[in-house]
Amino acid sequence: MLTLLAFVLALAVLIAIHEYGHYKVAVLCGIKVLKFSIGFGKPIYTWRLKGKPTEFCIGMLPLGGFVKMLDEREAPVDAAERHLAFNTQPLKSRAAVVAAGPAANLLLAICLYSALNWIGLQEPKAVLASPVAGSVAEKAGLRGHELVQGFGFDDEEIQNIRSFEDLRWQLMQAALNGRNLRLAVSKNDSSAPSDAKDASTREVNLKFQNFEAAEVDSQFFRRIGIVGPWTPPVIGMVVPDGPAFKAGLLAGDIVQRVDNTDIVDGQQLRQLIRSAGSVGLGNANGTGAGNSAGNRASGNVALLTGVVLTQTWVVSRNSKTLYLPLMPKLAADGKLTVAKIEASIGAAPEFVTVRYGLFDGLWRGMARTYDSSVLTLKMMGKMLLGEASLKNLSGPLTIADYAGKSASMGVTAYLLFLAAISVSLGVLNLLPLPVLDGGHLMYYLWEGATGKTVSDAWMQGLQRGGVAALLGMMSIAMFNDLTRLFG
């Protein structure tokens, strides 16, 4: 229910803002607006403002909206009102009305990002979890529990990193632009401020120069090796009669070692447990001779018999060190066989408050919106050229899923979600497809350059092509949605 409500509210807000942009600029340009609708289909509620000619309504299908203006191309217009018709307006006025919808969405994103910058965001501290084996981060020398203090592209000056989300953004920018990213890292010290520098600070170079744009997809951060912030390897809820319960593990236990593997963080521990049931990480006699990554897996899996051998877990409990024998159980996870201990792993990461002043917060809100817009356009361009995976396209099911998840995390997360979707909606509508606002702006560009309007024949052909392209995009997005959610 929360997912549905969050999704409908997000659609209503974003569509209302978009259509209000068209409506407001049309009124300012002296155009008579006949109808303002949020949603399509039969109206479920209508109203009029006193002294205004516009009928406002809410339609049954909240998947879009429209602003209907007086226009000679749609219906006969009385000679006395011809000056109020959209089609009789100068080119700059018509272009302004069309561009106002996407601009309103981008302005909303700026307002949301700026407001959140002023209020302050609780974001995970930029402390790294143990990197994924064989990833860019591991090859660069990262081992986990490092505090990222700053970043710099290629030979540029090092700038401060405020949070883990800031780091993720810079990683994405580096990969898409094919630029190497230098990170200034140090040993994590919870008592030190996030921008403190000390003698132990070192630089790590993440090489993205030859990184293929097609690799920037849903598995992007896993390939880089920086999946999430560091979390302590603490045992959470323990399922009664499960392997962890039988071994004597209790909530609050801190895991220090599993067999001969030292545990750095919760992510590493979760991966180690899962890999105990994966093909290729051990051998039949349980000696671990077939395990080439001894620092990442215990190597005591009897693969040929499908049996997981007992592991020795070293945990800290109330300042005491305990040695507990634990035998994970095998379970199917899609096409894989993984091991489970039936207990939650890892506590919440450490958070920092990221807050900016009035002008700095506004500037960063504008910069975030601009960067997000450019990033979206680059991704779309690379997908069009076949340089990036079409799996990056998301449809209404994925958006609804994210809406529900962000709403469950609180107002701040939901507003961040709204800002991100508002940017996407604004950029999408500026694409030069005839059925979108960008398509109409393309017509006006032609008219401004040649002094002639696009002919009806060309208009009809372009409209059909635009509809086909949009339906194709929607089909791919829906297929991706179904694959992510049910695949």
* Cβ proximity of 201 and 146 under 8 Å: no
Alpha-carbon Rg of the chain, whole angstroms? 28
**Could you give the C-alpha distances from 38 to 11, 20, 46, 72, 112, in angstroms and in order?**
9, 10, 10, 24, 21
Q: What are phi and psi of 447, to 5 degrees?
A: -65, -40
Helices (H) and strands (E) in the chain, counts: 12, 18
- Are 99 and 398 a contacting pair, CB within 8 Å? no
Contacting residues for 282 by C-beta, under 8 A, at least 6 apart: 276, 288, 290, 291, 297, 298, 299, 300, 301, 302, 303
CA distances (Å), origin 281, targets 195, 293, 441: 40, 8, 57
Decide if 72 is catalytic: no
CA atoms within 13 A on the CB side of 391: 13
Judge contact between 231 and 348, C-beta under 8 A: yes
Dist CA 405 CA 3 (whole Å): 7
Give the torsion through C-alpha atoms of 368, 374, 376, 381, to 10 deg: -170
Tokens of 447: 């008219």
- What number of residues does the chain have? 487
Phi, psi of 154 (to 5 degrees): 50, -115
Q: How far is CA 411 from CA 110, 114, 244, 308, in A?
A: 17, 15, 36, 44
Selecting among 19, 123, 138, 146, the annotated active-site residue is 19
Cα–Cα distance between 27 and 36 in angstroms, integer? 12
At 148 the three-state DSSP class reads strand
Catalytic residues: 19
